[in-house]
Amino acid sequence: MLLAGCGWYGAYVDGFLYAVTHRIEYGNFPYGELAHGEQGLVDDYGEMLGVTGKLAVMRALQALGKRKREANKLSCPCGCCLRLGRCDYRFVLNRFRNIERRRWFRQHLKEAFVPIKKPKPAKHKK
């Protein structure tokens, strides 16, 4: 953590490390609400997967939860605006396929992240 110790960020990182330590020891996050742990997860996964932001992290995990052939049809998490199958980022993702099963990624995505609601299309007034 590069910025640890700087003001609120330091306090935040300390809090997150506490949460992780607690989870390792007791098997769950000390916070009742999911959202508290979520930002930490997004940051950690973002760093690990080489993407930024919750949407990109969720897309990457979603892709890992599908067979390669299915995943290739999804929008690429790297932000290139291509399908995953047309971007070299798929090779980055494929490295993670050996670490856990597709089922684990699907389950994890469902349990650890609050789904992003798609913005409703603006209604045009007559």
Binding residues for Zn ion (CB under 5 A): 76, 78, 80, 87, 89
Min dist CB 82 to Zn ion, Å, is: 5
Helix (H) or strand (E) holding 122: none
Tokens for 1, please give them. 């953590």
Q: Report the C-alpha gap between 42 and 108 in whole angstroms.
A: 12
- Closer CB to Zn ion, residue 37 or residue 77? 77
Min dist CB 78 to Zn ion, Å, is: 3
- Closer CB to Zn ion, residue 87 or residue 109? 87
- Closer CB to Zn ion, residue 17 or residue 80? 80
Q: Which amino acid, one-letter code, is at 49?
A: L
CB environment 81-104: b (16+ within 10 A), e (fewer): eeebeebebbeebeebeeeeebee
E strand map for 1-126: none
- Closer CB to Zn ion, residue 76 or residue 109? 76
Min dist CB 52 to Zn ion, Å, is: 13
Q: Answer whether 79's CB lies under 8 Å from 87's CB.
A: no
Min dist CB 4 to Zn ion, Å, is: 31
